[in-house]
């Protein structure tokens, strides 16, 4: 069933496009009535949504439940409870729950990774023969029937922490114990469970909402957008661009410390947290301006480094979490080497910054760790750097 606007002439909105043009938080607050109308298509109308859970902690569902949308509270409550299937939220259980699940959902949502080597690690209901039915079988059956398929969270999108490497080879198992994968990606590579050529009825690949967990706005606005029949603009990892184009590093309130080469020795101290594991230069999301908990704060604002949880390849990619990414030698360059590469820089920290920019920090290919050319932000001039060095380091500096 194609998802269309209702016949009453209501204006359809591409909320993801608005999210990229408006200030963070403004889309939900200014368009609550239209968002509510979109969600009501899945509760009062013909649109059917099924939400499956695989290898996960249910944190993505909790993120959505804790979103601060007071003017949408009633609509969201109905939406959450009227999904044809959601194992955490629905009142039905057992056979009644399975019977209520749409077998040809308009929107299929997956939360959690899909185990492919040990399918019994995630099962839903039973087969006609009375055996536990693996999640991977449900995905392969339902995804081709759906108009849109959405992976909510890093586990569903890229495999997440269930796909972390078994470095000690515990139990004689391989690198990925359960063979956990995302819907179309395994970490930063393809294929995932559905394969790289999969497209839903809309013609789109899986829409990935990376994050551990993703911001509740990402979930709400993406679902509202597709319910209104709009096509999201996706990046190379199939993530909606308005949410995942900004670089955490470029909007960090501590950016002035980084530019001057002033680094903290441990989390919570004054200074840039890069050398104690901050993955901000390699992490793309708009959390620094959107903020969490009703626009209250975000990790870096309270002295905690960004751990890269929005990126494909998280968990393994930025391990160990307490060391700088470059000291992990992921990109074959460390802070000192990058600093030496920046000819003419007068300050080691600024030199390292310029060297990293020249070598392409913030961008990396989907199939490896070779950095690509930086295109998201322009190089600062020497005068810009001098002005920033004199700026108040406690000020939020978006660029």
The Cα–Cα gap between 10 and 19 comes to: 20
In this prediction, residue 236 has a pLDDT band, given cuts at 50, 70 and 90, of very high
248-389 carries CATH number 4.10.480.10 = yes
pLDDT tens for each residue of 368-384: 443 333 333 333 333 34
If you average pLDDT over residues 82-95, what whole number do you get? Answer: 83
- Rounded Cα distance, 138 and 103, in Å: 9
CA distance 232 to 230: 6
pLDDT confidence of 326, banded at 50, 70, 90? low
Largest CA distance in the chain: 73
- Least confident range from 78-82, 255-259, 389-393: namely 389-393
**Residue 5 exposure: Cα atoms within 13 Å on the Cβ side:** 13
The rounded distance, in Å, linking the Cα atoms of 92 and 188 is 37
CB 248 within 8 A of CB 291: no
pLDDT interval class at 321 (50, 70, 90):
confident
- Above 90 in pLDDT, residue 332? no
Which pLDDT tens digit goes with each residue over 2-27?
A: 565 444 445 678 999 999 888 888 89
Give residue 172's pLDDT band: very low, low, confident or very high (50, 70, 90): low
Contacts of 2 (CB under 8 A, 6+ apart): 147, 201, 202, 229
Question: Which whole-number Å values give the CA distances from 280 to 145, 179, 258, 285, in the listed order?
Answer: 38, 29, 11, 10
Please check the confidence at residue 158 and state whether its pLDDT lies above 90. Answer: yes
CA–CA dist 192, 180 (Å, integer): 9
Strands in the chain per DSSP E: 49-53, 107-111, 114-115, 123-126, 132-134, 148-152, 180-181, 207-209
Strand pairing category for 107-111 and 49-53: parallel
Same topology, domains 15-244 and 248-389? Answer is no
Give the number of other CB atoms < 10 A from CB of residue 95: 10
Residue scoring higher pLDDT (166 or 266): 266
Which region holds residue 85: left if phi is over 0, alpha if psi is between -120 and 50, else beta? beta
Half-sphere exposure of residue 53: CA atoms within 13 angstroms, side-chain side: 13
Tokens 């080691």, residue? Answer: 348
H or E element at residue 28: helix 26-30
Whether residue 138 contacts residue 127, with contact meaning beta carbons closer than 8 Å, is answered with no
State the pLDDT at residue 388.
39
Residue 243 binned pLDDT confidence (cut-offs 50, 70, 90): very high
pLDDT at position 7? 44
DSSP type of residue 180: E
**More reliable by pLDDT, 83 or 222:** 222
Residue 395 has pLDDT above 70, yes or no: no
- Domain range summary for the chain, segments of one domain joined by +: 15-244, 248-389
Higher-confidence residue of 261 and 344: namely 261
Superfamily designation of domain 15-244:
NADH:ubiquinone oxidoreductase-like, 20kDa subunit (3.40.50.700)
- Tell me the pLDDT tens digit for each residue of 333-381: 444 344 333 323 333 444 455 555 544 554 544 444 433 333 333 333 3
Q: What is the pLDDT of residue 51?
A: 94
């Amino acid at each position: 069933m194609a998802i269309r606007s209702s016949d009453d002439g209501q204006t359809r909105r591409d909320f993801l496009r608005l999210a990229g043009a408006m200030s963070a938080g403004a889309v939900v607050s200014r368009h609550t009535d239209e968002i509510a109308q979109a969600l009501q298509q899945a509760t009062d109308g013909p649109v059917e949504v099924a939400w499956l859970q695989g290898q996960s902690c249910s944190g993505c569902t909790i993120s959505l439940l804790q979103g601060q949308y007071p003017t949408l509270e009633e609509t969201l409550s109905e939406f959450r409870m009227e999904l044809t299937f959601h194992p955490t939220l629905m009142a039905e259980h057992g056979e009644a729950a399975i019977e209520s699940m749409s077998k040809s959902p308009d929107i299929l949502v997956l939360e959690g990774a899909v185990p492919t080597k040990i399918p019994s690690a995630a099962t839903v209901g039973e087969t006609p023969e009375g055996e536990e039915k693996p999640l991977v079988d449900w995905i392969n059956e339902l995804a081709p029937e759906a108009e849109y398929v959405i992976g909510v969270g890093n586990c569903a999108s890229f495999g997440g922490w269930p796909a972390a490497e078994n470095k000690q080879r515990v139990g004689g198992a391989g690198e990925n114990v359960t063979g956990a994968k995302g819907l179309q990606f395994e970490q930063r590579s393809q294929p995932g469970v559905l394969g790289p050529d999969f497209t839903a009825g809309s013609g789109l690949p899986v829409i990935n909402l990376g994050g551990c967990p993703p911001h509740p706005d990402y979930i709400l606005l993406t679902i509202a957008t597709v319910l209104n029949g709009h096509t999201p603009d996706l990046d190379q990892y199939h993530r909606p661009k308005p949410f995942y184009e900004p670089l955490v590093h470029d909007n960090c309130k501590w950016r002035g410390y980084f530019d001057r080469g002033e680094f903290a020795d441990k989390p919570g101290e004054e200074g840039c947290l890069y050398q104690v594991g901050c993955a901000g230069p390699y992490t793309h999301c708009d959390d620094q301006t959107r903020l969490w908990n009703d626009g209250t704060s975000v990790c870096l604002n309270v002295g905690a480094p960004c751990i890269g949880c929005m990126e494909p390849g998280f968990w393994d990619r930025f391990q160990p979490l307490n060391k700088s990414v470059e000291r992990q030698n992921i990109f074959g360059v460390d802070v000192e080497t990058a600093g030496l590469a920046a000819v003419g820089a007068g300050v080691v920290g600024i030199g390292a910054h310029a060297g990293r920019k020249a070598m392409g920090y913030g961008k990396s290919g989907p199939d490896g760790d070779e950095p690509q050319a930086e295109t998201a932000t322009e190089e600062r001039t020497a005068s810009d750097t001098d002005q920033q060095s004199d700026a108040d380091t406690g000020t939020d500096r978006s660029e």
